[in-house]
């Protein structure tokens, strides 16, 4: 009878890693906690991983307090229709200002929140805040779309759609003006019936975007089956679009794919007018990036929104000037 088909071995050395037998066993177990790189079944203890995991534990426990102690805030980064210069909406981006650690970037704390389970509370907080703010934003721009980032782990929860229904009702918001951004890796998350999870949201009427498109491995068949409302090109393909032929090909192809699937495209990471003009020539509908604005605290975003509701024609004129300057044949 075949009883055991998987053995994992943690390796630690005396006296290199530990001075007592108890510590040696602990080090062996700690080595096991780190995923091996190439699927090996043995793991060598590495002091750097311990420091790293201690740091992660410290951040995870500080993150628990962050919500209660009011250290979190939402920033908003505008999204603009490239053809008209009109405001499409904004992406809500989480910020964490810790009294000792300072400004902790989301790229650092979101993965820790995901692996420690704190992400559920964080996501609830973000959704609640974002929809409260959306109520104020639609006073200035009734068709304003608010985009909210959702983690793969959040898709497993059955109670989040209920939270959406409750908040949308409470604030009397149009669900079609709420966009959920799911990273491409989230949509390929193993063990999650994405299509089913997304159906719950579709029934409510909120829209779904595939975020960081191009960084994962989704097939065309998969994209078509999922029917995303929006495809978001990751900034890594946009930031060098002017010089990189590969990035140009990727962006152009993404726009073509989106068109044939009936989705629209948002490009993030637009930092200058040349990149914007290139993306526009590929048929990309909406842009986001430092060229338009950095992510702003809510009050600043409201001020920006107020000022930019009026300046759309100026923007279009600028665009024409840019087109004349670079020469239409270049893109």
**Where are the alpha helices (H) located in the chain, listed in sequence order?**
21-32, 47-68, 106-116, 119-140, 159-170, 184-187, 194-204, 220-226, 245-261, 273-281, 298-308, 312-326
Q: Which is nearer to Ca ion, 85 or 269 (CB)?
A: 269
174 beta partners:
none
Q: How far is the CB of 312 from ligand C2E (least distance, A)?
A: 20
Q: Do the beta carbons of residue 77 and residue 288 sit within 8 Å?
A: yes
Burial class (CB in 10 A: 0-12, 13-18, 19+), 99: exposed
Alpha-carbon distance of 60 to 48, in angstroms, equals 18
Which CB, 26 or 120, lies closer to ligand C2E?
A: 120
Binding partner of 289, given Ca ion, ligand C2E, none, CB within 5-8 angstroms per partner class: ligand C2E
Angle (CA) 167 173 178, round 5°: 85
The whole-angstrom distance between residue 300's C-alpha and the CA centroid of its chain comes to 22
Is the distance from CB of 112 to CB of 63 less than 8 angstroms? yes
Give min distance, CB of 211 to ligand C2E, in A: 5
Q: At what angle do helices 119-140 and 159-170 cross, to 10 degrees?
A: 30
End-to-end CA distance of the chain: 67
Nearer to Ca ion among residue 27 and residue 184 (C-beta)? 184
Residues of this chain that bind ligand C2E (CB under 6 A): 77, 93-94, 105-107, 110, 126, 149, 151, 211-212, 235, 268-271, 288-290, 295
Q: Which does 151 bind (CB under 5 to 8 A by kind): ligand C2E, Ca ion, none?
A: ligand C2E
> What are the φ/ψ torsions at residue 104 (nearest 5 degrees)?
-95, 120
From the list ligand C2E, Ca ion, none, partner contacted by residue 175 (C-beta under 5 to 8 A by kind): none
Q: Is the peptide bond before 15 cis (omega within 30 degrees of 0)?
A: yes
Q: How far is the CB of 305 from ligand C2E (least distance, A)?
A: 17
Q: Report, in Å, the least distance between residue 147 CB and Ca ion.
A: 7
Q: Considering only residues 114, 154, 184, 211, which one is a binding residue for Ca ion as defined by CB under 5 A?
A: 211
- Dihedral (CA of 174, 289, 301, 140) sign: negative
Give the 3-state secondary structure of residue 143.
coil
Tell me the closest approach of the beta carbon of residue 111 to ligand C2E, in angstroms. 9
Minimum CB distance to ligand C2E, residue 36 (Å): 26
- With respect to ligand C2E, which residue has the nearer C-beta, 30 or 77? 77
In this chain, which residue has its C-beta nearest to ligand C2E? 289
Kindly identify the residues of this chain, within the stretch 212-231, that bind Ca ion according to CB under 5 A.
212
Nearest CB to Ca ion, comparing residues 137 and 230: 230
Nearer to Ca ion, 114 or 212 (CB): 212
The interface with Ca ion within residues 259-318 (CB under 5 A) comprises: none
The answer to the question of residue 151 lying near Ca ion (CB under 5 A) is: no
Q: 268 or 285: whose CB is closer to ligand C2E?
A: 268
CB of 195 to ligand C2E, least distance (A): 20
The residues of the shown chain that bind Ca ion, judged by CB under 5 A, are: 149, 181, 211-212, 234
């Amino acid at each position: 009878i075949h009883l055991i088909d998987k053995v994992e071995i943690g390796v630690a050395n005396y006296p290199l890693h530990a001075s007592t037998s108890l510590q040696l066993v602990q080090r062996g177990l700690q080595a096991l906690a780190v995923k091996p790189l190439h699927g090996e079944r043995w793991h060598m203890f590495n002091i750097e991983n311990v420091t790293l995991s201690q740091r992660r534990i410290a951040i995870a426990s500080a993150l628990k307090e962050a919500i209660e102690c009011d250290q979190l805030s939402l920033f908003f980064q505008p999204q603009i229709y490239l053809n008209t210069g009109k405001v499409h909406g904004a992406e809500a981006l989480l910020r964490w200002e810790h009294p000792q650690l300072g400004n902790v970037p989301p790229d650092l704390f979101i993965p820790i929140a995901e692996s420690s389970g704190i992400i559920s509370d964080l996501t609830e907080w973000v959704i609640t805040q974002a929809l409260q703010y959306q109520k104020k934003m639609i006073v200035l721009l009734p068709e304003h779309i608010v985009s909210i980032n959702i983690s793969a782990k959040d898709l497993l929860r059955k109670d989040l759609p209920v939270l959406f229904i409750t908040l949308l009702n409470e604030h009397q918001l149009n669900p079609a003006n709420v966009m959920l951004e799911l990273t491409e890796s989230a949509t390929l998350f193993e063990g999650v019936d994405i299509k089913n999870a997304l159906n719950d949201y579709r029934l409510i009427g909120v829209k779904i975007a595939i975020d960081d498109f191009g960084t994962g491995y989704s097939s065309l068949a998969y994209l078509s089956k999922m029917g995303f409302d929006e495809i978001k090109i990751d900034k890594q393909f946009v930031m060098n679009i002017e010089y990189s032929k590969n990035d140009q090909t990727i962006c152009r192809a993404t726009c073509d794919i989106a068109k044939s699937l009936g989705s629209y495209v948002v490009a993030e990471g637009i930092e200058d007018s040349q990149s914007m003009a290139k993306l526009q020539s590929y048929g990309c509908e909406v842009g986001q990036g430092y060229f338009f604005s950095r992510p702003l605290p809510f009050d600043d975003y409201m001020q920006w929104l107020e000022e930019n509701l009026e300046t759309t024609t100026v923007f279009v004129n600028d665009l024409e000037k840019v087109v004349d300057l670079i020469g239409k044949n270049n893109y």
